[in-house]
Amino acid sequence: MSQTQLRTRAHAAVDYEEQAKKLSLEPSTNGQDPDASGHAVEATFITPLDPVIETADGNRLPAIPIQEAHKINLLKNRSEGRPYHPVRPRGLTRFDRQNAGVGAVDRNELLKDDQESESSRLDEAIPVLHTHPLFPPLPLYGPPSLLRDLQCIFFRTTSAFLSTAFLAVVVLGAIFTSVPHLFKYIWLWLTFRDPAKQRPFYEEEQSRAAIRREKEKEWSSRKRKRTAPTNDETRECPNLPRNEYEPLEGGPDKLVCDIRYYARRVGLDAEQFKVQTEDGFILTLWHIYNPKEYKPKADSGREPDSPVVFSKCQENLQPHVPKQYRDGDRRYPVLLMHGLLQSAGAYCSNDDDSLAFFLCKSGYDVWLGNNRCGFVPEHSLLQYHDPRMWAWNMRQMGVMDLPALMSRVLEETGFEKLGLVCHSQGTTQTFVALAKEQRPDLGDKISVFCALAPAVYAGPLIGKMYFKFMRVISPAMFRIFFGIHAFIPLMMAMHRALPGKLYGAMGYRVFSFLFDWTDTRWDRGLRNRLFQFSPVYVSAESMRWWLGRECFARQKCILATREDWQTEDVEDEEREESRERAEARSSDRGKTAWYDEHVPPIALWVAGCDELVDGRRLLRRFERGREPHVKVVHSKVIEEYEHLDVIWALDSIEQVGKEVRQVLWQTMPEDARRICRRVSGVDDAVEEREQHSDDQLQ
């Protein structure tokens, strides 16, 4: 080795150490142990556009800008005398910013930089970053320092006052808009009319309220006698439904934020798992089960596992769940993902009409995923006050949270695929993750993707005044208003402090005002319970992605700029004029497709009165052949439904739940069907008709 090469490696080693200090957990000192906890070692690319930091103790730090990741890897390799070969975005044969989709890096540029002489400047060897306007780079927060701490204090102080003022305006607006409804309510009572009778499900609500009262009496009687109900007690409650699931909890509704409590009220139970993402966040995963046939896993087995997902080393291990079921009687796994500002409890709030409980009692193995932070923010290294804990948006939720949850479910159940059911934001992170420039291979592990109220295109609600305010202010001003940590954390403080009834009533009014939905089709007797599981902690960066001037609120789409999808609409309208010409050019449409051959079958349930998102536009995209690899196995527009009605309406099981159950069954892999129990309520005739229709199309 020449003296020049030795000097080059020595200089690279010094620069590498400086870069490692910049990306480590804590500020470094000259005598710091290089193997100390949180010391940055190198960048790991989860996708070619999503690097995270590997630390010396085997932990991970969250996503960093691509330039910084390439820089530490380049310096590390040069200091060790090895070449550096950057990864290439999947699905790209040449660099084309317009057609590349969600942010792409030109491999030729990176290789050219790597091939420069060893005497070239390092800053010239760092690749140029190309970002899609929908996914601007996240801010880089280095280890704690006096300057950074002062900046954090500044943002915390300004956001504490300004975001609280913003929330106060929203609450006042909700109260003001409720005044006409209050006067109408009073007038109906003064004229001897019951306001509730005007509700479309009045009789059903009364019937369910009576059943709940009978159940409360029965539970009180059982509690006094400390015995199971006798036949005489059962005859005293003729309105109670007869089923095999004996409640494990009962009495008056406690209005608690506890999935297990509500599962036990309907004769089921739940166990909680902790899951680690590839960037070190700790997620909560709930498993719903029948206590008469399944024994929960030991606490030690439900702790966070490795940040590596879909690990091959787990293939020879026998998971806990299959141990308790024989082949032929196993349950097929289904993962449910929640919407914005919500949690997994949104699927567990309607007693037996909760989608999670309905699918479990039908015969599926139901798992409920929560995104990062949730009710209790957790990370393997970071603490709540660290701004790096909150440097994430929709991209990280799709690319890292969803794979981590899927991996743990498949690891625990021993299946190769699962069914995925998502609502609102859950559909967003899935559509983002499955894009061919992200993690398209996730589609190989999903038997069907059921999208409820799919949030891909924005609805007219995005034009409301308070949303416009967030879109008008600059990114810097957004951070001054809402900080660089959690988004309006006062909401969580109110959630903990206020009584359940008061919080539920206020939560409904505020969210109804913000998102323009009503409880018309819900069971009003359970409305306060519905809001016990929201809101949750989300990052200010993620809300900026949704509502800021750069991303979704401006482009009105999650995977295309506004100009792109408007151009596509014009092209589609022109092509519809000549069907032959449209068929001749169908291959041209596929060039701008978001998905490749890995995309799983998709089923969609669109709320016809949804002002928040535009599901019809997504349906049109699929129908017009813009996504040649997408197979839509089911689609339905429920004209009278609003955004949350797909999971909370009194008739949501009839309109949505039973169809989800059927779609999950008919798309289940054959090898899984041979070892799984038959799901109750499915219709083989429907499946045969669907298969016959597919054969005819082919």
Dist CA 597 CA 595 (whole Å): 7
SS3 content of the chain, % helix, strand, coil (to 5): 50, 10, 40
Q: Are 343 and 690 in contact (CB under 8 A)?
A: no
Say whether 354 is catalytic: no
Catalytic annotation, pick one of 159, 512, 643, 652: 643
Exactly one of 113, 351, 610, 614 is catalytic; name it: 610
Q: How far apart are CA 40 and CA 21, in angstroms?
A: 7
Report d(CA 486, CA 484) in Å as an integer.
7
Radius of gyration of the chain (CA): 27
Closest CA to 151 of 472, 489, 476: 476
Whether 37 is catalytic: no
> What letter represents residue 481's amino acid?
F
Give the integer Cα–Cα distance in Å for 471 and 138. 18
Question: How is residue 603 written in tokens?
Answer: 């089923």
For 286, list phi and psi in degrees, rounded to 5: -105, 140
Neighbours of 226 (CB within 10 A): 6
Q: Are 669 and 447 in contact (CB under 8 A)?
A: yes
Encoded tokens for 522: 């819900």
Phi and psi dihedrals of 676, rounded to 5? Answer: -105, 150
Give the Cα separation of 241 and 210 in Å (integer): 12
Question: What is the Cβ-side half-sphere exposure of residue 409, based on CA atoms within 13 angstroms?
Answer: 33
Options 349, 424, 447, 542, the catalytic residue: 424
Distances in Å between the Cα of 435 and the Cα atoms of 420, 559, 632 are: 16, 8, 16
List Cβ neighbours of 107 (8 Å cut-off, separation of 6 or more): 86, 88, 89, 92, 95
Is residue 385 part of the annotated active site? The answer reads no
If 0-12 CB within 10 Å is exposed, 13-18 middle and 19+ buried, where does residue 4 land?
exposed
**Angle at alpha carbon of residue 159, lines to 153 and 164, rounded to 5°:** 135
Q: Rounded to an integer, what distance in angstroms lies between the CA atom of residue 341 and that of residue 425?
A: 9
Query: What are the catalytic residues?
Result: 424, 610, 643
